[in-house]
Amino acid sequence: MDILLRTTLKALRDGAIDVEEACLRLSGWPHERLPFATIDHHRALRGGFPEVVYCEGKTPSQAAAISARVWERAGRLLATRASGEHAAAIRAAVPSARHNPVARTISAGAPPPAAVSPILIVAAGTSDLPVAEEAIETIRVLGQPVETLVDVGVAGVHRLLGHAEALERAGVVVVVAGMEGALASVVGGLVRVPVIAVPTSIGYGASFEGLAALLGMLSTCAAGVVVVNIDNGFGAGFSAARINALRTEGRETAGESDEVRDACA
């Protein structure tokens, strides 16, 4: 939850401030305007996680300024599609942030993994790892457990079939594959949980930079497979984490809602 909102409501509940002071403190909430961005601080309360910083197209200084404000207000941070220059600038502003250069992500404030079935990331090939890693980092910062199977594509399907136990214990499966994207259909036919398919832009010319995999996944005959956009590991990871969070009793978001109600009582 937004730290400003939390501390203000607690102070009001405890009698440390009056209503007028609380209104003054919250006068700029739920958004904050910078010269180059309007940060949606309400998103943490509304959606359970603060605004994610998409770095591509932003200068390192812009990405760092936005990230610093998100971190200060929410205590959690995820930035995606970050270059090395973005990472250096953000880590200077948020020293506790962690950079994953393969995933091109920067994250901070990840809670301990919830005690639920893990989300399983299944990557068809090593070349699909950047997209898979983006999904992994997203899931981790959202506080969900994650396991991985790498290089288990359909060209050697026995490699996948040897991991029946991992497939069985998964709460959600994210399948990351390029070329023709057939792995999503195979996995969809083996598991009883939701499968989120991520087409990647890996492949030769006729794969059309991921379009062939996208269409193949959309045309799957396996029930329970849904598809995100090409190379969208973040979107798949976020959706998987939300689905898996439904399994958690006494979720953090529910606890925060109780705090808000108590503070306002």
Q: Are residue 96 and residue 151 in the same domain, yes or no?
A: no
Interatomic CA distance for residues 253 and 265, integer angstroms: 18
Query: Which residues constitute the domain of residue 178?
Result: 119-245
Interatomic CA distance for residues 82 and 55, integer angstroms: 5
Q: Are residue 86 and residue 145 in the same domain, yes or no?
A: no
Q: Are residue 147 and residue 63 in the same domain, yes or no?
A: no
Residue 199 belongs to domain with CATH number: 3.40.50.1970
Residues 173-210 pLDDT 10s: 999 999 999 999 999 999 999 999 999 999 999 999 99
> Per the omega criterion (within 30 degrees of 0), is the bond before 30 cis?
yes
Residues 117-160 pLDDT 10s: 999 999 999 999 999 999 999 999 999 999 999 999 998 999 99
CB 2 within 8 A of CB 41: yes
Q: Are residue 52 and residue 123 in the same domain, yes or no?
A: no
